[in-house]
């Protein structure tokens, strides 16, 4: 243990970006709504300058639009955005699955196995929040295991948009059961270190999610 190593804490900027991102992704700030900068500054205990710097990051992610002299406004989630986003992130997940199979050690697979069990338990009790968190942890673990910084950075940006769409629609029980079945198959491929098979399943899983989201938005 290195006693001289400093404790790493998130910076104010990083914390603000994460909090603002969650407000948009989890639909606390609605599509088309003006970002209430004054209220948020009071709530977070910060000045306008760091808040606006954080909003610039969200603008680069496509979550808000900065308007000259009029602040920021939350962007709308459109079918066109989903059509453009899902095929790209599906391809990234396919590559991540292939690389993860080759690079994960036994401990890494065991960790994903535990989160998979947590996800199944949440599904059985219909705890959607716990389910989505475990689901996200699994996908993030596979992305990280790919050990490709370019892939990870692009995936991170697109995943925010996918998460946002998820909070805006109620997926059917049929799709939920289908998603569980897909994850069971993914785990089987991972256990066998079937890189090609896992990659193909992860891509299919994401494209099926896209179809479900589009159907939900149309109802």
Q: What is the DSSP letter of 129?
A: H
Give the separation between CA 35 and CA 26, rounded to whole angstroms.
14
For the chain, where do the domains classified as CATH 1.20.120.530 start and end?
79-218
Domain 79-218: which CATH class?
mainly alpha
Question: Is pTM beyond 0.85 here?
Answer: no
Query: From CA 106, how far away is CA 174, in angstroms rounded?
Result: 33
Residue 183 — pLDDT band, cuts 50, 70, 90? Answer: very high
What pLDDT, in 10s, does the model give residues 127-147? 988 998 899 999 999 999 999
pLDDT digits (tens, 9 = 90+) for 51-107: 999 999 999 888 999 988 788 999 888 888 889 999 999 999 999 999 999 999 999
CATH code for the part of the protein at 12-74: 1.10.10.10
Per-residue pLDDT tens for 148-158? 999 999 998 88
Bridge partners (DSSP) of residue 64 are 74
Q: pLDDT category, 170, cuts 50, 70, 90?
A: low
Strands (E) located in the chain: 64-67, 71-74
Between 2 and 113, the higher pLDDT residue: 113
Rg (CA), the chain: 19
How far apart are the C-alpha atoms of 195 and 103, rounded to whole Å?
A: 10
């Amino acid at each position: 243990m290195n006693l001289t190593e400093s404790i790493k804490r998130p910076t104010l900027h990083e914390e603000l970006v994460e909090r603002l991102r969650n407000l948009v992704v989890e639909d606390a700030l609605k599509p088309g709504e003006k970002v209430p900068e004054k209220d948020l500054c009071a709530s977070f205990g910060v000045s306008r300058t760091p808040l606006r710097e954080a909003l610039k990051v969200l603008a680069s992610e496509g979550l808000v639009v900065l308007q000259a002299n009029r602040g920021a406004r939350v962007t709308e989630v459109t079918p066109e955005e989903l059509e453009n986003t899902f095929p790209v992130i599906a391809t990234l997940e396919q590559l991540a699955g292939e690389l993860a199979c080759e690079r994960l050690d036994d401990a890494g697979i065991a960790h994903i196995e535990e989160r998979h069990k947590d996800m199944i338990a949440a599904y059985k009790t219909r705890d959607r929040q716990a389910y989505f968190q475990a689901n996200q942890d699994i996908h993030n673990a596979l992305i990280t295991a790919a050990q490709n910084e370019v892939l990870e950075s692009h995936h991170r940006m697109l995943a925010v948009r996918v998460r946002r769409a998820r909070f805006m629609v109620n997926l059917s029980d049929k799709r939920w059961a289908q998603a569980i079945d897909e994850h069971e198959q993914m785990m089987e491929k991972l256990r066998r270190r079937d890189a090609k098979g896992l990659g193909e399943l992860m891509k299919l899983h994401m494209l099926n999610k896209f179809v479900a989201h589009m159907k939900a938005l149309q109802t």
